Amino acid sequence: MPPHPTADYVGGLGLDLKLGMALIKIPYISLFLFALVTEITFASTIKDKVIIRAITNLLKRDKIATSERIDVFATQGIVTMTGRADNLLMRRRAAELALTVSSVRSVINIIEIFPLSRMDAAIREDILVALSNTQSVGKDDFQIDVRNGYVFMSGKVNSQDAKVFCIKLAFGINGVKKIIPHIELKDQHELTDDDIKRSQAAPG
């Protein structure tokens, strides 16, 4: 007759059984986690593709930005934009459009500026014409100096809105590589009747 099992033997057998069951469960747990991660990654990839498509469509429809030379990538909602732009305004506009798309967490804008090769005098003239065509400012309020595509703007304007507006105008001129503004705000006693009318016409 076989000897009766001791308590140690029974306890050890129970421990072995528990370890055996745990070892059996490990592959199933690993498989479950793998499937879960795969599903999350797949869903994220689908969402990124939707983001890319939405941004590309916005670029195609926009009058300032263009999708022809701008490439869009997305990873878990983080958008990277590469390619070329004719001017600073186009580069900035592309990023602004991307940020309007749902699920976009942030935009990494590494679009390079390849402005058209233009004479500094032509760039300066275009900026002055653009300023003179607005009601909020006048070209006489500014001194514009252009050196190798770098625009130095100095002068005084009626409001902060007018200041920002003038800089944006210069951003949109082809051939501009960078803008260095030295624009001040006029004191109240410096404002003329024409200045007040321009302030009322300035875009908000």
Q: Which two tokens stand for residue 131?
A: 């300023």
2 vs 76, higher pLDDT: 76
Read off the pLDDT of residues 187-200 as tens digits, 9 standing for 90 and up.
765 545 454 454 44
Average pLDDT of span 52-66? 86
Of 70 and 140, more confident:
70
Q: Report the share of the chain in percent with pLDDT over 70.
A: 64
What's the number of domains the chain is made of? 2
pLDDT greater than 70 at residue 17: no
Backbone angles phi, psi at 117, to 5 degrees: -75, 110
- With cut-offs at 50, 70 and 90, classify the pLDDT of residue 55: very high
Which CATH number fits the domain that encloses residue 81? 3.30.1340.30
User: Which of 87, 114, 141 is a domain's end point?
Assistant: 114
pLDDT, residue 102, reads 87
**86 and 171: one domain?**
no
Is 162 found in the same domain as 100? no
* 112-116 contact pairs (CB < 8 A, 24+): 112/82, 112/83, 112/84, 112/85, 113/84, 113/85, 113/86, 113/87, 113/88, 113/177, 114/84, 114/85, 114/86, 115/86, 115/87, 115/149, 115/174, 115/175, 115/176, 115/177, 116/86, 116/174, 116/175
Residue 89 has pLDDT above 80, yes or no: yes
State the pLDDT at residue 185.
81
Q: Phi/psi at 149 (nearest 5 deg)?
A: 90, -10
Same-domain status, 38 and 3? yes
Rounded to the nearest integer, the mean pLDDT of the chain is 75
pLDDT tier at 41, thresholds 50, 70, 90: low
Q: Average of pLDDT values for 123-140? A: 78
**Do 194 and 135 belong together in one domain?**
yes
pLDDT at 36 over 50: no
Please tell me whether residues 95 and 162 are part of one structural domain. no
At residue 42, does pLDDT exceed 60?
Answer: no
Structural domain boundaries, residue 146: 120-201
Residues 136 and 161 in one domain: yes
User: Given a cut of 90, is residue 177 above it in pLDDT?
Assistant: no
The candidate with the shortest Cα–Cα distance to 89, out of 122, 115, 123, 60, is 115
Per cent of the chain over pLDDT 90 is: 23
Q: Which of 172, 180, 174 is nearest to 122 (CA)?
A: 174
Choose the final residue of a domain: 114, 143, 159. Answer: 114
160 in the same domain as 92: no
pLDDT given at position 11: 46
Whether the pLDDT of residue 23 is over 90: the answer is: no
14/82 same-domain check:
yes
129 vs 44: which has the higher pLDDT: 129
Q: Which residues of 63-89 are buried (b: 16+ CB within 10 A; e: fewer)?
A: ebbbbeebebebeeeebbbebebbbbb
In this structure, are residues 93 and 86 in contact, taking their beta carbons and an 8 Å threshold? no
Statement: residue 127 has pLDDT above 50: yes
Question: What's the Cα-to-Cα distance from 94 to each of 100, 111, 167, 168, rounded to whole Å?
Answer: 10, 9, 18, 14
pLDDT of 152 strictly over 90: yes
The last residue of a domain, from among 81, 114, 147? 114
